Amino acid sequence: MTDSRIQLTEEDITGIQADAIVNAANNSLLGGGGVDGAIHRVAGPELLAQCRTLGGCPTGEARITKGYNLPAAWVIHTVGPVWRGGTQREPELLARCYRNCFSLVREHGLRSVAFPAISTGVYGYPKEEAARIAIQEARRALAENENLARVLFVCFNSDTRLAYEKALTEP
Ligand code: APR
């Protein structure tokens, strides 16, 4: 059953009008390349200033900050696992990223959240497996949180979008 509250789009997450956008960060939370770099560039220096106060973030966990110059009011920073072949608890850690992001969404009473394809860029996680975990956790979160109205998966290239479209067709 495809839940209409789960949506896909192919664009830059920094322009998304959702209550929160998720950042695929690193353990330092002090910025980087990829989506992390884009989010910090648009949010502005106040985001980094707030991140400095957080003392980093372990892999699999999530932290929330304001969005500053972003259209989204909040940024949820999560640190995905680096893909090392699948024998270092990568699937479990990636699932924890999504669950911890959805916990912050619930704690802050947010109604919409947009995710990039966490860990599938620099961190090398296979797109199809990562998308399967993302969709599975979104379905779980939507079933558990009636206040959550929209989960948006923001793909940055067609390979990623195809991976999510495939994952959405799976039970
Ligand atoms: N909007 C949406 N998605 C984006 C954007 C953007 N502006 N820029 C990149 N992406 C996509 C990538 O194409 C990929 O599909 O986000 C996904 C995650 O890729 P990365 O940003 O490389 O994140 P990740 O693989 O989790 O690696 C995290 O990269 O940028 C550093 O500081 C970050 O060290 C951390 C590592």
Note if the pTM is more than 0.85.
yes
* Per-residue pLDDT at 52: 98
Q: Is the CB of 82 under 6 A from ligand 1?
A: no
What is the domain extent for residue 137?
6-169
Q: Name the domain count of the chain.
A: 1
- Domain of 36: which CATH number? 3.40.220.10
Positions marked catalytic: 36
* Per-residue pLDDT at 1: 54
* Per-residue pLDDT at 2: 63
Q: Is the CB of 19 under 6 A from ligand 1?
A: no
CB neighbourhood size of 166 (10 A): 14
**Dist. CA 97 → ligand 1 center (Å):** 14
Q: Whose CA is nearest to atom 21 of ligand 1?
A: 34
Q: Within a domain: residue 62? A: yes
Q: Within a domain: residue 34? A: yes
Q: Which two tokens stand for residue 6?
A: 């789960």
Q: Which amino acid is at 56?
A: G
Beta strands in 49-131 (DSSP E): 62-66, 74-78, 112-115
Q: Within a domain: residue 1? A: no
Give the burial class of 33: count Cβ atoms within 10 A of its Cβ; 0-12 exposed, 13-18 middle, 19 or more buried.
exposed
Q: Whose CA is nearest to atom 30 of ligand 1?
A: 33
Residues of the chain with pLDDT under 50: none
Please write the tens of the pLDDT for every residue from 74-83: 999 999 999 9
